[in-house]
Amino acid sequence: LAKTTQPISMDSYEGQEVNITCSHNNIATNDYITWYQQFPSQGPRFIIQGYKTKVTNEVASLFIPADRKSSTLSLPRVSLSDTAVYYCLVGTYGQNFVFGPGTRLSVLP
């Protein structure tokens, strides 16, 4: 299983773009990269998933360089409600997914 490394915490201000980078040096060929968001007292919620290059949906973008050894979750124009813990996971279908410590994002007014 590919291990991931993320910053433990980040601070940002409302309206700014936030980029959270995850390192996964031993990612396997069949592995996908998935990001989850967790609010207090709730289960994690899927944000975005990608395999290579760039993926964008209505809430975030995911940038993956050619070597796939890292990925960056980009949250445009964050608001106070984006304050949460963000987890980066790497794996393929049928595998057990290992949650790292996550990145605790605090959005300040």
Minimum distance of another protein from residue 22's CB (angstroms): 13
Minimum distance of another protein from residue 96's CB (angstroms): 5
Phi, psi of 33 (to 5 degrees): -115, 125
Question: Who contacts 19 (Cβ-Cβ below 8 Å, separation ≥6)?
Answer: 72, 73, 74, 75
**In terms of DSSP H, where are the helices of the chain?**
none
Minimum distance of another protein from residue 15's CB (angstroms): 28
Minimum distance of another protein from residue 7's CB (angstroms): 14
**DSSP secondary structure letter of residue 5:** B
How open is the CA angle 63-66-71, to the nearest 5 degrees?
35
Q: Give 17 or 57: the residue with its C-beta nearer to another protein.
A: 57
Binding footprint of another protein on the chain (CB under 8 A): 32, 34, 36, 41-46, 49, 87, 91-94, 96-102
Q: What's the token pair of residue 61?
A: 């973008």
Identity of the residue numbered 85 = V
